[in-house]
Amino acid sequence: MQRILHIDGDSFFVACEQAMNPYLRNKPVITGRERSIATAMSIEAKRAGITRGMTACQAKKICPNLIVVSGNYLAYAIFSQRMNSILERYSNCVEAYSIDESFALIDDSIDAHAIKDALEIELGLSFSIGIGQSKTLAKLGSNYNKPSGCVIIDEHNREEVLHNTPVQKVWGIGRKSAAKLIRHGITTAYEFTQQSQEWVRNTLHKPGVEIFHELRGQSVYPLHDKISPQKSISSTRTFYETSGDREYIWSRLSQNIENVCAKARKQNLLAGTATFQLKTQDFTYHTHTIKFSSLVNTPATVLYAIRPLFEKAYRKNTMYRATGITLSNLAPQPTQQSLFDDSEKEKREDQRELFKSIDTLNNKYGKGTIHLGSSPLVSKNISRQSTHEPTHPSIHKTIGIPWLGLVR
């Protein structure tokens, strides 16, 4: 018999940081330094009373020894891809629901604990797993005994789990629907399932009816294991402080371009179009798009094309708070570049090999270890994600390649 499995990374962003930097393990840590807001918390930080959305200053008052790090979303995406690759060993139908959550269709021969062990040993992260006859029950199971839980919901324990689950904690029941159910005296998931189908249909909208059936073990939501082709790749970062300095803003945009091109190369994709944006202090966006004459995924090429547009977009005496870049019109990178003449082919092959080496070094020693010369004003913040973290003094370098626009 086939069942649905749901895996959920425990404190995923922080757990990734701790896996990459053992110094952070078993310490109160939050991500979100780039926005001064807690976006994810370690177990220790949660126990100290820190919640998502709390400002870093508030969190520090609650927990003076708190470590605040910047989010490394490229690294989190890589962990996510590895997570799904492991899951695909056990299932031919895997749906990536979010960066830290996935569903999979499994049969009775699959041991959920074996999946959990493989994930945690190979990735160095903690995961919670739930299994049920529907997506909603599977998600209920993964959330039932966090962190690092493994709950299988079947006919033997379904009522118990539903009894112990507040209706507002059920995946798919929104705040308004939960409030309506509570006004009718329905406070648990079990009480919800004991209503008649007609009552549910007359009281709630269609999603509420679907959740009602899912909680009763009737699968309504199918798994979507075929992922649509990616349409774009983006990188956006908010400044630590607003700035009107042209070169600082260009440096931040340069850093985003390096990030987004690294993502494209990681996925063996090339882009035909780039759109960059400058966000002012009053939340006004200045957006410009450029189409390339040939497909690209190297930052020097993107920077060279965008710099004239940046100069037109930048406004003197204006304070900016963020930059961003999006690559679109994506296509798989061919194994051979047969459309170019010999000199152009040689130059592109040189760039490909160069950035392959750069990606290898950055993956080994940390994001931004090797960076473009156009990013010097912000490069010092890349490898040191926290004032509490030691930075290796010998590996943080810029490199000198005149034709690529890199400096020593």
Per-residue pLDDT, 189: 97
**Structure tokens of 322?**
């963020």
Cα dihedral 136, 142, 145, 149, rounded to 10, equals 160
Mean pLDDT across the stretch 149-167?
A: 95
Split at pLDDT 50, 70, 90, the class of 233 is confident
Instruction: Give CA–CA dist 293/296, Å, rounded.
Output: 9
- Distance between CA 88 and CA 341 in Å, rounded? 41
Contacts of 308 (CB under 8 A, 6+ apart): none
Q: Which two tokens stand for residue 207?
A: 């999603």
What's the pLDDT at 57? 93
Average pLDDT, the chain: 82
| Structure token pair of residue 180 | 């309506």
Q: How many residues does the chain have?
A: 408
Higher pLDDT, 266 or 16: 16
Over residues 85-134, the pLDDT tens digits come to 899 999 989 998 888 999 999 998 899 999 999 999 999 999 999 999 99
CB 190 within 8 A of CB 162: yes
pLDDT digits (tens, 9 = 90+) for 300-324: 889 999 999 999 999 999 999 889 8
pLDDT at 224 (0 to 100)? 78
Look up residue 283 and give its amino acid.
F
Least trusted range by pLDDT, from 4-8, 218-222, 345-349: 345-349
CB atoms within 10 A of CB 21: 17
DSSP 206-220: HHHHHHHHHHTT---
Domains of the chain: residue spans and CATH: 2-150 (3.30.70.270), 155-215 (1.10.150.20), 232-404 (3.30.1490.100)
